[in-house]
Amino acid sequence: MRILSILLPTFLLAVQATAETRFTEPVTLHDYHPFREVDSKESWDARREAIRTRAQLACGLLPFPEKTPLKAKRFGVVKGEGFQVERVYFESFPGHYVTGSLFTPTGESAKLGLMDGKRPAILCPHGHWSDGRLFDLIDKSGEKGVKQQIAMGAERFEAAARNPIVARCVQLARMGCLAFAYDMIGEADSVQFAEHRRGPRPEMNGSKKGEWGFVSPQATLYLQTNFGLQSWNSVRALDFLTELNDVDSNRLGVTGASGGGTQTMIIAAIDERIDAAFPCVMPSTAMQGGCTCENTHYLRIGQGNMDLAAAVAPKPLGMTAADDWTIELETKGYPDLVALYKMLNAPGNYEAHFDIHFKHNYNHVSRTHMYSFVNRHFKLGLDEPVLERGFTHLGRKELAIWTDGGAEEPRPEGYLSGDDHEKSLNQVWAADSGRQLAEAMKKAKDSWIRTGWETILRADEVRETEASFELGEKDVEGGMIWMTGIIAGNRSPFPASIVYPKDWNGEVVISLKGNEPQGNATVIVPSLYGQNDEQARNAPTTYSGKKEIEATSWQHSPVYFYGYNDSVFVRRVHDLVSTIAMVRQHPDWDTKKVIVEAEGSLAAVALAAKLIVGNQIDELKASPGDFSFSSADSNWDDNMVPGALKYGDVKGLEALAAE
């Protein structure tokens, strides 16, 4: 066929020789991720909602799953001076248990923090301290390490140096707050997962519900990640706190460092109940978080950690920096948020502290900043500075949940762990998505299905695309003008072939099938992303950027690509949108009708474009046949679209395109 076999390949060579090719290196977590500024309060309201929506979708939590009964159990009280700590577990999903420690005020401390008989509650995700809530510096560095922390001024007391996670909870309880330290999956008592980080494992790639685990193609198609599970655990931990009789629902806070700082940002972004957030040594414009518990599909496309942290604005937000990837916070990120809070008429609600002579930490110096933040914003009325006091070390014997950790509590009946639990959990999660999808499909246009697909496609960003055509080669034959050229639109320019009848009738057929001329209509065959460039594919990347690592390593998780980059499918949709925009905007064409035709997987591309541009397409001839996104049997398949099955597969796109 002349259009594709003669003119297009020749012109492709010229396009690929230009400075901007179809293939670019993927964005990574190690790149520069600046805050995206806005110019008004109204603009921020829309921007904040977009950040929240993208974060919730990225977690696989748009919409939130059904909140099943927590079945919370509290037991094993240990008393200290001015506080007590209880062992806690509850179900975030049926069969999946969140474990943790609840610290509450006692004695004189119980008189503090009260407003109408209610007190503040603070979530405390722990981050990447080995064993988390059960961390003990002595296990890592011995007595010498503890003494060094005290000597350098990072800590004041031995027990706090041994476990800074427990230290902050003890002090918050002594200030009149409830504090809940809960385990990240694969840490401390959260042993239903054998490890904290997950990598691809062939034996977990089943196609039927109950046969797949995380980091499998099916999990990707449903947006199921350990990041999403951890975020759901945070939401349910907040549910647990708000169900307590003495908790003030208007004074709910969250604070954590490192990976706990990431969870602090995320729960504050996706759950409106959070009233104040204090993420430490994580918000920055540099490295965005290395673990699979800090990365997920779509999370940082068009936004980064400074945007995510700011999603709580204008509510109170505090943060700290250290001698790590946050070392430049004072000049990169902090000024932007100062300006944002000033614009929102809440300059006193934002603060950051730059103790960059310390390495990555949540030490006493950083915690003291947080105590002052909580004291002021939750109106505790304590004298400043609020300083810690010593306490007796609390270790595994005092805090562990299960019988093999020193407590008296056996595991619940039906308790699963390992691969069986992972598969079961994903089955429960997918079943919930399926139930909600069936209901939403009854009126897809007004449902979360549209929100999901528009977020995946970045519809709002490309809907008003301006595009043009630059002529390359031209030939006249048999009443037809045969042309090749470049369409420049919403991303890198791409080639297209055009056959233009001299007696054109005003119709334009954009054919993704590569058809021959069609009567008196102009026919355009765009070369969509990756169709004629073997490099332009979903580009596997890793946390470290190294390719020569073990195939099952957590560094091979697809979240490191899809968390920062559009898929091949989305790029093809954007190219089609640019083609439609070019046709409508061409200065020499009086276009009366635009027809788009496609089959198979490219029909799904056409349906997605119709969702974006609406009546800019007058007639859509899309025949997907038996194509389904579930056919993507690899995370790097050209038709891999994270979340496609969660949002209705091709039928979801058909329902939206038809409205």
Asked if pLDDT for residue 15 goes beyond 50, the answer is no
- Whole-angstrom distance, CA of residue 346 vs CA of residue 336: 14
- pTM score, whole prediction: 0.95
**What is the arithmetic mean of pLDDT over 148-155?**
97
205: three-class secondary structure by DSSP: strand
Asked if pLDDT for residue 1 goes beyond 50, the answer is no
**What is the arithmetic mean of pLDDT over 516-520?**
84
Question: pLDDT tier at 16 (50, 70, 90 boundaries)?
Answer: very low
Bond preceding residue 314 cis, omega within 30 of 0: yes
> Residue 391 has what pLDDT?
97
Do residues 418 and 191 make contact, with C-beta atoms less than 8 angstroms apart? Answer: no
**What is the arithmetic mean of pLDDT over 294-299?**
97
Mean pLDDT (the chain, rounded)? 93
> Residue 360 has what pLDDT?
97
> Residue 449 has what pLDDT?
97
Cα angle 154, 378, 49; round to 5: 95
> Residue 7 has what pLDDT?
47
Asked if pLDDT for residue 4 goes beyond 70, the answer is no
Tens digits of residue pLDDT in 594-633: 999 999 999 999 999 999 999 999 999 999 999 999 999 9
Give the residue with greater pLDDT, 230 vs 444: 230
Cα angle 523, 527, 531; round to 5: 135
249: three-class secondary structure by DSSP: strand
> Residue 516 has what pLDDT?
76
Tell me the one-letter amino acid at 549. I
Tens digits of residue pLDDT in 554-604: 999 999 999 999 999 999 999 999 999 999 999 999 999 999 999 999 999
Give the residue with greater pLDDT, 474 vs 549: 474
Q: 207-221, 545-559, 573-587: which has the minimum mean pLDDT?
A: 545-559
Tell me the one-letter amino acid at 474. K
Asked if pLDDT for residue 80 goes beyond 60, the answer is yes
Tell me the one-letter amino acid at 382. L
Residue owning tokens 């190294």: 546
> Residue 307 has what pLDDT?
98
Tell me the one-letter amino acid at 303. Q
Give the residue with greater pLDDT, 13 vs 228: 228
252: three-class secondary structure by DSSP: strand
H helices within 190-331, ranges in order? 217-221, 226-242, 259-270, 305-310
Using alpha carbons, list the distances in angstroms from residue 33 to 29, 129, 266, 307, 336. 8, 25, 17, 9, 13
Tokens of 215: 């980091």
- What is the secondary structure of 441-479 as a DSSP string? GGGGGGSHHHHHHHHHHTHHHHTT---EEEEEEEEEETT
Beta bridge partners of 475: 482
Tens digits of residue pLDDT in 395-444: 999 999 996 555 667 899 999 999 999 999 999 999 999 999 999 999 98
Asked if pLDDT for residue 541 goes beyond 80, the answer is no
In three-state form (DSSP H/G/I as H, E/B as E, the rest C), the secondary structure along 326-362 is: CCCCCCCCHHHHHHHHHHCCCHHHEEEEEEEEEECCC
Asked if pLDDT for residue 18 goes beyond 80, the answer is no
- What is the secondary structure of 295-311 as a DSSP string? --TTTTSS--HHHHHHT
In three-state form (DSSP H/G/I as H, E/B as E, the rest C), the secondary structure along 72-134 is: CEEEEEEEECCEEEEEEEEEEECCEEEEEEEEEECHHHHHCCCECCEEEEEEEECCCCCCHHH
Using alpha carbons, list the distances in angstroms from residue 75 to 160, 245, 269. 24, 17, 31
Asked if pLDDT for residue 208 goes beyond 70, the answer is yes
- Whole-angstrom distance, CA of residue 223 vs CA of residue 233: 16
Asked if pLDDT for residue 550 goes beyond 90, the answer is no
- Whole-angstrom distance, CA of residue 307 vs CA of residue 303: 6
Bond preceding residue 385 cis, omega within 30 of 0: yes
Question: pLDDT tier at 191 (50, 70, 90 boundaries)?
Answer: very high
Q: Which domains does the chain have, with CATH numbers?
A: 2-31+452-657 (3.40.50), 46-435 (3.40.50.1820)
Do residues 645 and 221 make contact, with C-beta atoms less than 8 angstroms apart? Answer: yes
Question: pLDDT tier at 14 (50, 70, 90 boundaries)?
Answer: very low
The CA R_g of the chain, rounded to the nearest whole Å, is 27
**Percentage of the chain exceeding pLDDT 70:** 94
Cα angle 514, 515, 521; round to 5: 120
Q: 438-442, 538-542, 648-652: which has the minimum mean pLDDT?
A: 538-542
Question: pLDDT tier at 6 (50, 70, 90 boundaries)?
Answer: very low
Give the containing element (helix H, strand E) for 487.
Answer: strand 480-488
Q: 39-43, 437-441, 529-533: which has the minimum mean pLDDT?
A: 529-533
Question: pLDDT tier at 549 (50, 70, 90 boundaries)?
Answer: confident
> Residue 407 has what pLDDT?
60
> Residue 404 has what pLDDT?
59
Tens digits of residue pLDDT in 247-272: 999 999 999 999 999 999 999 999 99
Sign for the CA dihedral angle at 511, 517, 523, 526 comes to positive
Give the residue with greater pLDDT, 11 vs 641: 641
